[in-house]
Chains A and B, each alone.
Chain A
Amino acid sequence: MKKDEVPQDLSSLGKITKEVCYATDNDGKYVTKLSSGWEVKITALDTAWSDIEKRIAAARQQVLEGKASPLLFFMEYRLMDVAILAGYTGFWKWQVKRHLKPEVFNTLSDNKLQKYAEAFNTKVDDLKTMTVHED
């Protein structure tokens, strides 16, 4: 890539920091140049996020229909899978899977709910009601 061809399409990251790209100058020598983003990768990221939004909406629907506990919603919202959530809470994966059932979730102690709330960076009340603020 030539130095003059380093794209400058403003991305959400570009508002915070420009990124270093390696490109060649007129003599073919490599130099660094700052880029504020590239349309091709902005749309790649948008594609990923629109898929995540769909998954979050589907999870919310499942919770509302009583097919899953609010943990599923927050897992999708926080881009977590069972393994990551188990890591953050200290529960075993099989426990997390059990807690994904609404009937089991409803019997969880405050202590356990608090662990989930911390993992999701939220409060127990918000966890139960699928309320998100931020961020």
Chain B
Amino acid sequence: MKIDFEHRQAAHCESGVTSNLLWSASGGKITEPLAFGIGAGLFYVYVPFIKINNGPAIAFRTFPGHIFKRTCKSLEIAVVSKKFSSKEKAQIYLDECLVNGHAVGCQVGVYYLPYFPKEYRFHFNAHNLIVYGNDGDNYLVSDPIMEGTNVMDSYQLERVRFAKGALSPKGHIYYPKENKTITDDQIRQAIKGGIKKNVYNMLNIPGSFAGVSGIKNTGLKIKKWRDKLGLEKAGLYLAQMVRMQEEIGTGGGGFRYIYGAFLQQANIYLPENGLCDISRIFTKSGDMWRTAAVHAAGIYKGRLSTQEEFNAMGDYLLEIAAIEKTAFETLKQIKWR
């Protein structure tokens, strides 16, 4: 049983899955950057009192599952989304979907994902892939971050669909209910909605842990890490930040480049709103994040160790916060034409 489905590689798993699941309905119009932007994917959050892999909980993207949900909702596409307490029922449901001709998105954990190299396997449970067929006990898997497709047997798939720990997927399966045609007008409305939501997330969430104020706050905290954590632990923290920012799945520069690409593509649907100019600000921000990562690498490799270097590291984030504040305020002030 194999569904007519074309594997397309993407930078980020969830926006890639979303784009690929909507590909035939949209006639290829919902590209990865559009899915990312319509789903208001860009974010920043640092939750100091939670630890992930003994390091800081930092994310550069919105909460798992939101991109698919928001994109479909904005485009007025009904979705089916299910979680399971029973592994058997989860597999039966998946098999039924395939028989009915639905390629389906699955949330999985990466720790026991067989085709990932060992170095990349952590207990991260918000990865996404598409199952588009089966052959005996094997399932055909399209993981958007991989160049090619993969095959997993039923035990391997069950293991990652029922990975445990934070954000455990519980067999989470999702797909668009029907192949509805998506009009340009719907895309225009969805783009505006996505930008509005993203502006809110980056500028208006109260407290200092999320959005632009979260970046600023992290910058201020980093300056204290050397004294507070000691050099070794501070280095580990910075290494973790760089991984969240640059590791596979981000498209580079903490997702800022994907967002820049989104604004350029949005400009085709909504010209004369200055979106291309704002796209350039995000390119600059992405470049700054990468410059900061190079500096961070100097610290975790032990080449840089003075308090001045930590101050410089923190200052990078303060500067980035200022750049992104300008970018989102400009987006906020658009009077759509």
Contacts and interface: CB of A to CB of B under 8 A. Distances in A.
B261 A30 contact: yes
Interface string A24-44: 100011101011001111011
The residue in A1, A78, A80 that gathers the most chain B C-beta atoms within 10 A of its C-beta is: A1
Given A18-B147, A43-B297, A43-B301, A87 B164 contact: yes
Nearest to A38: B246
A84 interface: yes
A19 B248 contact: yes
The residue in A29, A43, A47 that gathers the most chain B C-beta atoms within 10 A of its C-beta is: A47
B300 A47 contact: yes
B257 A22 contact: yes
The size class of the interface chain B forms with chain A is: 35 or more
Interface string A68-84: 00000000001111011
A106 B199 CA distance: 56
B123 interface: yes
A40 B297 contact: yes
A20 B11 contact: yes
A22 B261 contact: yes
A110 interface: no
Contacts of B249: 19
B253 A17 contact: no
A92 interface: no
A23 B257 contact: yes
B105 interface: no
B168 A87 contact: yes
Contact of B235 (A22, A47, A79): A47
Nearest to A84: B165
A135 interface: yes
Contacts of A6: 252
Contacts of A79: 53, 111, 122-123
B261 A83 contact: no
B242 interface: yes
B236 A30 contact: no
B119 A1 contact: no
A19 B246 contact: no
Interface stretch (A8-16, A56-64, A95-103, A125-133): A8-16
A79 B123 CA distance: 7
A48 B33 contact: no
A30 B300 CA distance: 31
A49 B53 CA distance: 11
A94 interface: no
A22 B164 contact: no
Contacts of B248: 13, 19
Interface stretch (B81-89, B181-189, B282-290, B320-328): B282-290
A13 B117 contact: yes
A104 interface: no
Given A1-B283, A48-B53, A22 B260 contact: yes
The residue in A6, A20, A23, A38 that gathers the most chain B C-beta atoms within 10 A of its C-beta is: A20
Given A22-B252, A38-B246, A13 B54 contact: no
A117 B130 CA distance: 30
A12 B117 contact: yes
A108 interface: no
Contacts of B123: 79-80, 84
B239 A48 contact: yes
Nearest to A19: B248
Given A1-B286, A13-B120, A80-B123, A21 B147 contact: no
Contact of A20 (B10, B164, B168, B280): B10
Contacts of A17: 145-148
Interface of A: 1, 6, 12-13, 15-24, 28-30, 32, 34-35, 38-41, 43-45, 47-49, 51, 55, 78-81, 83-84, 86-88, 121, 135
19 contacts: A6-B252, A17-B145, A18-B147, A19-B145, A21-B251, A21-B252, A21-B257, A22-B260, A29-B264, A41-B243, A43-B301, A45-B119, A45-B247, A48-B236, A51-B54, A55-B54, A79-B53, A80-B123, A83-B165
Pairs of residues from A and B, 9 with the lowest C-beta to C-beta distance, nearest first: A87-B164, A30-B261, A22-B257, A84-B165, A47-B239, A44-B239, A20-B11, A44-B242, A40-B297
